[in-house]
Structure 1
Amino acid sequence: MSDKAATTRQRLLDAAAAVFSERGYARATTKEIAKSAGVAEGTIYRHFDDKRELFKAAFAERTALMRADTLDRLPELAGQNTVRENLRRLVLALEEAEAAIAPLQAAMSSDMQLLEALALPVEGGAGGVPTTPLVPLAAYLAAEQELGRVKAGIDPERAAFALFAIPFTAVTSARMMRGVTITQSADIMGALDVVLGGLEP
C-alpha cells in the first residue's frame, strides 16, 4: 500500500469512528463518512467492501490501540513497583481507553450481526471465561504469583476477568448516569481494593 493510500485509509478510519460514534451504526451513511474524510464516497469502496467492514476496521483499530497502550507490555512489569500500584495504573488507563471506544460499542448495539461478528472469541478460559484480550493481564498475574506477590491458588485468568470488568462497569455506569464522571473515583478504587483483597498474600 502506498503512503497516499495508507493516509487515505487512516482518514477514512478516523472519520468512520467519529461518524459512527455520533450517529450510530444504522443511521451513519458512507456518504457522511466520505464527506468527513474529505474524499469521494467511492473512495471508501477502494479500501473496504462495505459499511460493515469499515466499521469493523475502525473498531478493531481502536481496540488494538487500547491493548498496545495498556495491556501488551504489562507482563514486563512483574516484580516492579507493587502489584497494587501496577494494577491501579492499569485500571485507570483501561477506564480511559474504554471510555474512548464506548461510543463505537454503543453504535453497534442495534445490529446483532455486527455484534456477533465482533464478539470476543473464547480461548483457553476455564469454564468458558473469555480470555483473548486478557492474556497479557493473566500472564502478568501469573508472573507475580510465581514471585510470591499474588496469592497462591488464585486463577490468573479469572482474576484478570474480574479486574478487566472494573473499568468496563465504570464506563457503563457513567453512560447510564448521563455522563457523570467517575474516573479515579472511590467507586473504581473501591472495586479494585475488593479484588486486590483476594489477590494479595
Structure 2
Amino acid sequence: MTSEAAPPPSKPLTGGALTRSRILDAAARLMNTVGLTRTTTKEIAREAGCSEASLYKHFRDKEEIFVTVLREREPRFTDALAALPGRAGEGEVAEQLEEVARVAVLFYRRTFPMAASLFASPDLLAAHRGKLDLSASGPQVPVHSLAAYLTAEQDLGRLSPAFDPDAAAMLLIGACFHRAFLTLFFAPDPPAGAPLPEDETDFARETVRALLEGIGSSAHARSGRSG
C-alpha cells in the first residue's frame, strides 16, 4: 500500500477554492480537538482566517461543513485496501497483512475523533450516510476488500482452504480498531500493559501471526476426537 505512485502535484489554490480549503482544514482541526458540539461556524471562520459571511458562500451550514470534512479530509484507507486483492501472490501473505494492520491502526487513530463527532449528532450521521455510495465507500468496504484478498490467496494455494476469509478480515480490522481506541483512550500516558504489545510493529506482527496460525484450542481438539 505504500508503493503506490504519488499523485502529480496540483496547482496552488487561489481565491474561493483556497478559502474553501482553509475552512475545511479549520473544521477538521476543531473536530479533532474540541469536538462537534463545541464547534461553531464562528469558531471555524476564526480558525480559517475568514469571515462567517465568506464561510456561508461555500457551505449552507455547519452540518454540511462536517459532512464535507468527513468525505474529503479523512485518510483514504478504503482506497488503499481496494487495490490489495490485485496484489495476491506478491510477497509473503504475512507481510501484506502486517502492512494492512499498520495502516488500519493509523487510519482509525486519526479518524476516531471525527467519528465521535459524527455519532454525537444523529442528523449529521444521517446526512453523512446519505451522501455516501454505501456499496463503494461504506465502513464495511475495508473488510470486504481484505476478505477478497484472502480469498485470492486461497485460490493460489497460499492459504488453507479451511480458512474463512470474511471472519479473518473482520478479526484483523476489528483488532486494529480496538488498538486505535485503546491508544486514544489512554493518551498521552497509558498505564503499563495497555495496550499490548506497546510497539506498533510488534502489534502488527503478533496479531497477524495469531490470525494465520490460529489459537489451537486443545479443548476443541479433544471435543472433536470424542465426537
The structure 2 residue matched to 1:134, chosen from 132, 137, 143, is: 143
1:98 aligns with 2:108: yes
CA contact (8 A) 1:24 1:108 kept: no
Gapped regions of structure 1 (runs ≥ 5): 124-129
In the alignment, which residue of structure 1 is the partner of 2:31? 20
TM-score, structure 2 normalization: 0.72
In the alignment, which residue of structure 1 is the partner of 2:15? 4
The 1:21/1:99 distance shift into structure 2, 3 A limit, reads same
In the alignment, which residue of structure 2 is the partner of 1:52? 63
1:174 aligns with 2:190: no
Measure the CA separation in 1 of the matches of 2:118 and 2:168.
28
CA contact (8 A) 2:109 2:184 kept: no
C-alpha deviation, 1:185, in angstroms: 5.6
CA contact (8 A) 1:75 1:143 kept: yes
Single out whichever of 80-89 and 43-52 deviates more from structure 2. Answer: 43-52
Aligned letter for 2:93? V
The structure 2 residue matched to 1:83, chosen from 63, 71, 93, is: 93
Measure the CA separation in 1 of the matches of 2:209 and 2:65.
40
Cα RMSD (Å): 2.7
C-alpha deviation, 1:87, in angstroms: 0.4
C-alpha deviation, 1:176, in angstroms: 2.4
Gapped regions of structure 2 (runs ≥ 5): 1-12, 215-227
The structure 2 residue matched to 1:164, chosen from 152, 173, 184, is: 173
The 1:122/1:196 distance shift into structure 2, 3 A limit, reads farther
1:33 aligns with 2:44: yes
| Aligned-residue identity in percent | 34
In the alignment, which residue of structure 2 is the partner of 1:196? 212
CA contact (8 A) 2:86 2:149 kept: yes
CA displacement 1:137-180 (0-9 Å, x = unmatched): 22211211111112214343332222111211001112222333
TM-score, structure 1 normalization: 0.80
The 1:55/1:195 distance shift into structure 2, 3 A limit, reads same
CA displacement 1:57-96 (0-9 Å, x = unmatched): 111223452323x312212321111110000011011111
Measure the CA separation in 2 of the matches of 1:137 and 1:7.
36
C-alpha deviation, 1:44, in angstroms: 2.3
The structure 2 residue matched to 1:144, chosen from 153, 160, 176, is: 153
Measure the CA separation in 2 of the matches of 1:197 and 1:121.
36
CA displacement 1:34-69 (0-9 Å, x = unmatched): 11112221222222221111111111223452323x
Measure the CA separation in 1 of the matches of 2:202 and 2:75.
29
Runs of 4+ that moved beyond 6 A: none
C-alpha deviation, 1:6, in angstroms: 2.9
In the alignment, which residue of structure 2 is the partner of 1:126? none
The 1:183/1:96 distance shift into structure 2, 3 A limit, reads farther
